Every structure is written in C-alpha cells, then in structure tokens.
Amino acid sequence: MLLHCHGPQVLRTKALLHVMGLAAPVLVESVQHTVHAPVHLQRWPSADRRSRIVVIVDGLSKESIERSLAVFCNIEVSAAVSA
C-alpha cells in the first residue's frame, strides 16, 4: 500500500517479519518501485522475535506511513503507532 500510494517518495524499505506459522523470519526489501523477492532466513538474529520495518522516504510524513501500514494490516491507525 505504501509503495502503491507514495511510490516516488519511498526511497527504500527493509523489513524483518515474524510470519505466523514460520519458525524463522522473512526478509522483505524494496528500492523505490523495485520490490525484491522475500528471503526466508534460517534463524532469527537474536532472541527478539518482533517484526521490524525500516522505511526511508523523501517528503512523506510519519502519519502517512503509519496510515498505509495500518490499512495493509487491517488495523486501526491509533493501534499502528508504537511508543
């Protein structure tokens, strides 16, 4: 959703995702409109099993990013904001 709505402003994304049913994480990366195939890693890099998403943008607000991720995850926007 983020790339679809704000493609030219999204310079790079990188995500280490905890996918239900998988023991190890999935790595997802994109550079502008090029989304690379997901990579299934052999193991987690640490004991922390939380998903992590890094987004590098040009002129895009944090709120726009959070809204796009919330729509994709089908959650309320307020729930997408972490402390």
CA dihedral defined by 5, 60, 12, 20, rounded to 10 degrees?
-60
Based on the number of CB atoms within 10 Å of its own CB, is 25 exposed (0-12), middle (13-18) or buried (19 or more)?
buried
In a domain, 38, yes or no: yes
In a domain, 13, yes or no: yes
In a domain, 40, yes or no: yes
pTM of the model: 0.74
The count of domains in the chain is 1
Is the predicted pLDDT of residue 47 greater than 90, yes or no?
yes
Is the predicted pLDDT of residue 15 greater than 80, yes or no?
yes
In a domain, 63, yes or no: no
In a domain, 27, yes or no: yes
